[in-house]
């Protein structure tokens, strides 16, 4: 992280905005009434420069690494913020890393200001590529279907991963409302987000929509995506654990606060220990990824698997620890559980990431 940016101050400033604009009751109301992107909060994110944190300086950004973006993702997870921070910043990374000067000038500025929200289809390491691209006479043609695009239905620009006839990968910048593009919004149990399916039937676009990518750039994108979800899980875990402890201090049973009962204290203590470990693992993974360290791949995989699995266990237990009111809509436990469940599935399951760690150990060897 740039030494001129104080991470503690950055976190505090971001948290103040989320506490004001995205408290749990506001998130509940928004998800019940409309879902999708919370426009006011999205505009604020752009005006405060959050979307420019990771962009290169030549594009008006601060050129900070993943270790600073993790702060933003954690606070967004803590607030269950219904804005497409992660998918938009993933798209910005693709453009900054792989785009031409003209493409960077065309899109990065409007992304940084939140005039444009963006998304990406699944990075290549996480699944097969099901979209094909052909080039002919200054145009490109897309066929196939891309699935599970996080917040893709609400995006103004989607970077679709496709392969050419020779198997060479590329990203294609597509507006969802372009001719020949069919977009289906898939509503999930987490109403603060959605997944989109985009189908192309010989969709014709200009050749300047193509961004060449490499295996290394897709690996980096997959790491960014996994870390973003892991950090979101850390923030959500911190929030629901704090809320549960506050409730246990206030709720009286047999003339005593239920937080004084040893069995319940042990359950909370176990969750706290897991959270401290997960927080350290995510921070370590982000630091390694920001430096391009060879151990980052395994560390990121472990962070994603552990943080998301423990988030599910914590949010599920929080409902029980809240007693009867834990099952009501007014108590935000269910919002965190829904977010945790989707986090667990996004950008690679726990078993997928654990297998990735195994492959890394077999390939690189292990030293204590």
Q: Tens of pLDDT along 339-352?
A: 999 999 999 999 99
Asked if residues 199 and 145 have their Cβ atoms less than 8 Å apart, the reply is yes
| Cα 221 from chain centroid (whole Å) | 11
Q: Is the pLDDT of residue 307 over 60?
A: yes
Per CATH, the homologous superfamily of domain 7-117 is Acyl-CoA dehydrogenase/oxidase, N-terminal domain (1.10.540.10)
CA separation for the pair 189, 335 (Å, rounded): 9
Cα separations in angstroms, 64 against 50, 58, 286, 319: 11, 13, 12, 37
Q: Which residues contact 106 (CB under 8 A, 6 or more apart)?
A: none
What confidence tens digit (pLDDT) does each residue in 4-17 have?
A: 678 889 999 999 99
Task: Work out the average pLDDT over 147-160.
Answer: 96
> Which tokens in the block code for residue 232?
């979101």
**Per mean pLDDT, which range of 49-63, 132-146, 278-292 is the poorest?**
49-63
- Three-state secondary structure readout of 127-163: CCCCEEEEEECCEEEEEEEEEEEECHHHCCEEEEEEE
CA separation for the pair 268, 49 (Å, rounded): 37
CA separation for the pair 332, 28 (Å, rounded): 8
Of the candidates 114, 111, 122, 126, the residue with the CA atom closest to the CA atom of residue 144: 122
Looking at CATH, the fold of the domain delimited by 119-212 is given as: Butyryl-CoA Dehydrogenase, subunit A; domain 2 (2.40.110)
Asked if residues 299 and 285 have their Cβ atoms less than 8 Å apart, the reply is yes
pLDDT band at 330 (very low <50, low <70, confident <90, very high): confident
Asked if residues 117 and 37 have their Cβ atoms less than 8 Å apart, the reply is yes
Domain ranges in the chain are: 7-117, 119-212, 215-364
What confidence tens digit (pLDDT) does each residue in 165-224 have?
A: 999 999 999 999 999 999 999 988 899 999 999 999 999 999 999 999 999 999 999 999
Asked if residues 44 and 17 have their Cβ atoms less than 8 Å apart, the reply is yes
Looking at CATH, the fold of the domain delimited by 215-364 is given as: Butyryl-CoA Dehydrogenase, subunit A; domain 3 (1.20.140)
Task: Work out the average pLDDT over 96-117.
Answer: 96
Which pLDDT belongs to residue 366?
Answer: 57
What confidence tens digit (pLDDT) does each residue in 53-74 have?
A: 999 888 888 888 888 899 999 9
Angle at 194 between CA 191 and CA 198, to 5 degrees: 160
């Amino acid at each position: 992280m740039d030494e001129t940016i104080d991470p503690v101050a950055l976190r505090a400033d971001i948290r103040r905005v989320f506490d004001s604009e995205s408290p749990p009751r506001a998130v509940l109301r928004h998800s019940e009434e409309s879902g999708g992107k919370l426009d006011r909060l999205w505009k604020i994110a752009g005006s405060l420069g959050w979307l420019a944190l990771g962009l290169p300086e030549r594009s008006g950004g601060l050129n900070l690494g993943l270790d600073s973006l993790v702060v933003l993702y954690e606070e967004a997870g803590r607030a269950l913020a219904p804005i497409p921070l992660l998918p938009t910043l993933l798209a910005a990374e693709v453009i900054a890393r792989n785009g031409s000067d003209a493409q960077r000038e065309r899109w990065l500025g409007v992304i940084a200001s939140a005039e444009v929200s963006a998304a990406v289809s699944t990075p290549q390491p996480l699944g097969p590529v099901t979209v094909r691209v052909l080039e002919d006479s200054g145009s490109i043609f897309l066929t196939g279907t891309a699935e599970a695009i996080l917040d893709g239905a609400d995006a103004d620009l989607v970077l679709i991963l496709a392969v050419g006839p020779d198997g060479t990968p590329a990203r294609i910048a597509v507006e969802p409302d372009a001719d020949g593009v069919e977009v289906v919004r898939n509503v999930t149990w987490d109403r603060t987000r959605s997944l989109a399916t985009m189908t192309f039937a010989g969709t014709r676009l200009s050749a300047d929509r193509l961004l060449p990518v490499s295996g290394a750039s897709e690996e980096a994108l997959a790491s960014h995506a996994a870390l973003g979800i892991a950090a979101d899980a850390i923030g959500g875990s911190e929030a629901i654990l704090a809320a549960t402890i506050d409730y246990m201090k206030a709720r009286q049973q047999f003339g005593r606060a239920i937080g004084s009962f040893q069995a319940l204290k042990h359950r909370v203590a176990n969750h706290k220990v897991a959270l401290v470990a997960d927080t350290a693992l995510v921070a370590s993974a982000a630091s390694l990824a920001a430096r391009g360290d060879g151990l980052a791949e395994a560390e990121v995989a472990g962070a994603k698997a552990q943080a998301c699995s423990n988030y599910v266990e914590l949010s599920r237990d929080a409902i029980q620890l809240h007693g009867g009111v834990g099952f009501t809509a007014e108590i935000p436990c269910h919002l965190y559980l829904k977010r945790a469940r989707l986090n667990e599935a996004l950008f690679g399951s726990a078993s997928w990431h654990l297998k990735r760690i195994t492959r890394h150990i077999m390939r690189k060897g292990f030293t204590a």
